[in-house]
């Protein structure tokens, strides 16, 4: 049994404790893996199922001084994270439950080497981005244990300030990674700084790049420290300014939350406006905590949604994109070969005319065989060289045009497989990606049918419209 199979079997057993439907979903992910392996989109040591976190996961993102750590400490009821107006910790901190009363901080390798945590083998990606003298995983990650019941059965991730210049590319890569795995993402902004100029970069990555995602409902946009804002400015004007900034970033629908820490808030003189702001903040804070508390229930539906999205994306986006790339590759090869052959013919004719060399007598059988063999070998070599050259040129284009890392790497891997030397020799007969046909479409159709059945099973475990009395075996 391979390491991947062992890992997935352990994942199935673990997820079964959350809900009995999860092992079936993992099996459907594995069926989708077979299609992706055949296309070349996934490497043999990858699986769609490994993109599932072992525990429900909540990520807290935002700029420096937006109050992320203060919010986490209040939620956990423990002074776990250092708080200040300036950055005290520029690492991603994974927080998990421990029955030990003593809070412990473990190095980044505890996350990088454990497949149950969301940063498994992330060091490989960091190595690609960082300088030779800054490759230590401990510079980017740490694991903290906490006895808070609020984090039992889930993982909480505190991110470094998003505006950090140091370790910039690595921070962005890690942020994209945890967003993809998270079941709930809290995006914090400092309500005191609504100017779009100073927040443009943060708004781009934490708002503009997320609102078009199919799982965009897992993002909560939070204006924090409203107590200071209410004391120093007109809170309604500040909120209006934020609405304009978020609208410029593309968030024109939905809502955002307005909160402050009730344990550390600055006393505010009571007025009708402040009373209304206080009630709103308290209601929003309560709603955020409730959403964090029910993350396990939402997670089951989100995982099914991930399966459906991955299956549809593979059939309706990845395969057509791969087909277009293959046709473009063939077209560029044909035109390049035509140009090269034309050039060689003209150059050869001029060279023979100027040198007055005699053409070999091809009427002799041996001469004809040698000449034709050399010509065929030369043509095959030239054809493969041109195919390889065009492939590399197109790979560079793919690398710069597809921004989403998982899709980009998969498309590049599949394109290499579909334009290999063996495929190049049969270029005239290539019309579809490797293995793509009725059987693969049938497998994806089977997965999508399973999706509907999983949703029905979940609905049955959480709802009972008919009002009949029955026993539930599922754990929600």
Instruction: Write down the pLDDT at residue 107.
Output: 87
Tracing tokens 């077209």 back to the chain, one arrives at: 331
- What pLDDT shows up at residue 39? 93
CA–CA gap between residue 266 and residue 278 (Å, rounded): 12
Q: Which residue has the higher pLDDT, 203 or 259?
A: 259
Is the pTM higher than 0.85? The answer reads: no
Give the end-to-end CA distance of the chain in Å, rounded to a whole number: 31
pLDDT 10s digits, 370-381: 767 787 888 889
Residues recorded for the chain: 476
Among residues 410, 422, 424, 408, the alpha carbon closest in space to that of 337 is found at: 424
In tens, the pLDDT along 324-373 reads 999 999 999 999 989 988 888 887 777 767 776 666 666 667 666 776 77
How much is the pLDDT for 279?
83
**Mean pLDDT for the stretch of residues 79-102:** 74
Name, in order, each residue with C-beta under 8 angstroms of 250's C-beta and a sequence gap of 6 or more. 207, 208, 211
In this prediction, what percent of the chain has a pLDDT beyond 70?
A: 75
DSSP state of 48: G
Say if CB 53 and CB 183 are below 8 A apart: yes
284 contacts 257 by C-beta, under 8 angstroms:
yes
What confidence tier does 132 reach under pLDDT thresholds 50, 70, 90?
Answer: very low
Give the pLDDT score at 473: 47
**Per-residue pLDDT, 30:** 93
Type and span of the H or E element at 145: strand 141-146
Cα separation, 300 vs 225, whole angstroms: 33
Bridge partners of 57, per DSSP, are 155
Say which residues have a Cβ less than 8 Å from residue 456's Cβ, sequence separation at least 6. Answer: none
Domains of the chain: 51-307 (3.40.50.300), 318-434 (no CATH)
Burial 409-437 (b: 16+ CB within 10 A, else e): bbbbbbbebbbeeebbeebeebeebeebe
Give the single-character DSSP code of 160: P
């Amino acid at each position: 049994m391979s390491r991947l199979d062992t890992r997935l079997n352990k994942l199935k057993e673990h997820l079964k404790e959350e809900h009995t439907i999860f092992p079936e979903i993992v099996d459907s992910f594995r069926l989708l893996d077979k299609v992706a392996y055949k296309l070349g989109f996934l490497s043999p040591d990858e699986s769609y199922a490994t993109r599932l976190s072992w525990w429900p996961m909540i990520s807290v993102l935002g700029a420096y001084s937006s109050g992320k750590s203060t919010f986490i400490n209040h939620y956990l009821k423990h002074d776990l994270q250092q708080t200040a107006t300036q950055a005290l910790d520029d690492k991603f901190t994974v927080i998990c439950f421990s029955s030990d009363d003593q809070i412990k901080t473990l190095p980044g390798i505890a996350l990088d080497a454990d497949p149950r945590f969301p940063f498994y083998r992330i060091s490989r990606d960091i190595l690609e981005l960082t300088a030779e003298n800054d490759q230590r995983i401990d510079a980017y990650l740490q694991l903290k244990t906490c006895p808070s019941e609020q984090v039992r059965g889930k993982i909480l991730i505190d991110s470094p300030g998003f505006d950090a210049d140091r370790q910039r590319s690595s921070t962005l890569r890690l942020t994209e990674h945890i967003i993809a795995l998270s079941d709930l993402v809290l995006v914090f902004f400092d309500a005191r700084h609504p100017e779009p100029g100073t927040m443009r970069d943060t708004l781009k990555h934490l708002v503009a790049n997320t609102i078009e995602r199919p799982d965009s409902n897992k993002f909560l946009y939070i204006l924090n420290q409203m107590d200071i804002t209410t004391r120093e400015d007109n809170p309604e004007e500040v909120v209006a300014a934020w609405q304009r900034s978020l609208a410029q970033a593309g968030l024109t629908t939905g809502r955002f939350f307005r909160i402050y820490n009730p344990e550390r808030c600055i006393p505010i003189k009571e007025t009708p406006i402040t009373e209304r702001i206080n009630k709103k903040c308290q209601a929003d804070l309560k709603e955020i905590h409730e959403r964090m508390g029910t993350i396990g229930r939402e997670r089951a539906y989100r995982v099914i949604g991930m399966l459906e999205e991955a299956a549809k994306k593979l059939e309706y986006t990845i395969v057509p994109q791969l087909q277009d790339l293959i046709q473009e590759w063939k077209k560029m090869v044909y035109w390049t070969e035509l140009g090269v052959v034309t050039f060689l013919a003209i150059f050869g004719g001029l060279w023979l005319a100027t040198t007055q060399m005699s053409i070999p007598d091809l009427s002799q059988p041996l001469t004809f065989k040698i000449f034709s063999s050399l010509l065929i070998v030369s043509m095959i070599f030239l054809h493969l060289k041109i195919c390889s050259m065009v492939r590399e040129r197109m790979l560079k284009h793919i690398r710069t045009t597809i921004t989403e890392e998982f899709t980009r790497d998969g498309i590049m891997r599949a394109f290499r497989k579909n334009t290999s030397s063996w495929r190049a020799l049969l270029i005239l007969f290539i019309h579809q990606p490797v293995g793509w046909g009725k059987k693969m479409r049938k497998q994806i159709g089977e997965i999508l049918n399973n999706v509907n059945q999983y949703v029905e099973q979940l609905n049955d475990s959480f709802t009972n419209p008919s009002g009949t009395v029955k026993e539930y075996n599922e754990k929600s």
